[in-house]
């Protein structure tokens, strides 16, 4: 479990650091935005854009307040249990495939929730969490692909000279504010 948690932490931290890298480009003059009436209708989406917006809304709902509970294996023994808690996900406006995952990370005696920018690619109607060759000083380079379909996930991961598979179910996390049964 620690090896996969290590992979997730490293992949996510690497994605965050790569995402944060500054991009330099020539400044372009901009003209002031035209004021719209407050009651102006939003522009109509094309059918393809409307379908993608619906997929992204479903992904957001599925992954908010969710637990990814499953197993991982490096092919060298019995699979080991693994668990990730995702408080929320949200697509980053104007950032293409980047999403913010507010993920609870329990690793090495620490328990923190961090906003992590993670690329999510779409294979038709299927979201794929995708992190490629992210180097982390002192920890190595990691790659992961995690396919999410309905309430299940499966994927591959690698880090340096080790790697393997992960799979499991996506469940709603228990509400920490719910009254306790006596």
Are 87 and 11 contacting, i.e. CB atoms less than 8 angstroms apart?
Answer: no
Are 135 and 46 contacting, i.e. CB atoms less than 8 angstroms apart?
Answer: no
Nearest C-alpha neighbor of 83 from the set 97, 66, 100: 66
Which pLDDT belongs to residue 8?
Answer: 46
What's the full length of the chain, in residues? Answer: 182
Torsion angle, CA of 59/64/67/72, rounded to 10 degrees?
A: 40
Over residues 136-166, the pLDDT tens digits come to 444 557 789 999 999 999 999 998 788 999 9
pTM above 0.75, yes or no: no
Which pLDDT belongs to residue 166?
Answer: 94
Mean of per-residue pLDDT scores for the chain: 77
pLDDT at 21 over 90: no
Domains and CATH numbers, the chain: 2-18+49-172 (2.40.128)
Which pLDDT belongs to residue 137?
Answer: 41
The tokens for 24 are: 């330099």
Are 64 and 88 contacting, i.e. CB atoms less than 8 angstroms apart?
Answer: yes
Residue 10, helix vs strand vs coil = helix
Nearest C-alpha neighbor of 68 from the set 141, 138, 12: 12
Over residues 77-119, the pLDDT tens digits come to 999 998 889 999 999 999 999 999 898 876 556 677 877 788 9
Q: Which residue has the higher pLDDT, 10 or 132?
A: 132
């Amino acid at each position: 479990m620690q090896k996969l948690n290590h992979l997730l932490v490293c992949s996510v931290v690497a994605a965050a650091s790569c995402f944060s890298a500054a991009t330099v480009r020539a400044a372009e003059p901009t003209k002031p935005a035209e004021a719209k009436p407050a009651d102006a209708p939003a522009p109509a989406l094309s059918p393809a854009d409307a379908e993608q917006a619906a997929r992204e809304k479903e992904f957001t709902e599925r992954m908010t307040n969710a637990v990814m509970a499953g197993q991982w294996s490096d092919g060298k023994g019995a699979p080991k249990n693994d668990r990730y808690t995702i408080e929320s996900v949200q697509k980053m406006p104007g950032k293409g495939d980047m999403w913010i995952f507010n993920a609870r990370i329990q690793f090495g005696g620490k328990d923190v929730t961090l906003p992590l920018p993670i690329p999510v690619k779409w294979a038709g109607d299927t979201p794929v969490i995708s992190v490629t060759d992210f180097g982390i000083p002192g920890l190595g380079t990691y790659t992961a692909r995690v396919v999410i379909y309905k309430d299940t996930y499966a994927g591959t991961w690698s880090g340096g000279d080790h790697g393997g598979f992960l799979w499991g179910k996506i469940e709603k996390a228990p509400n920490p504010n719910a009254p306790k049964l006596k």
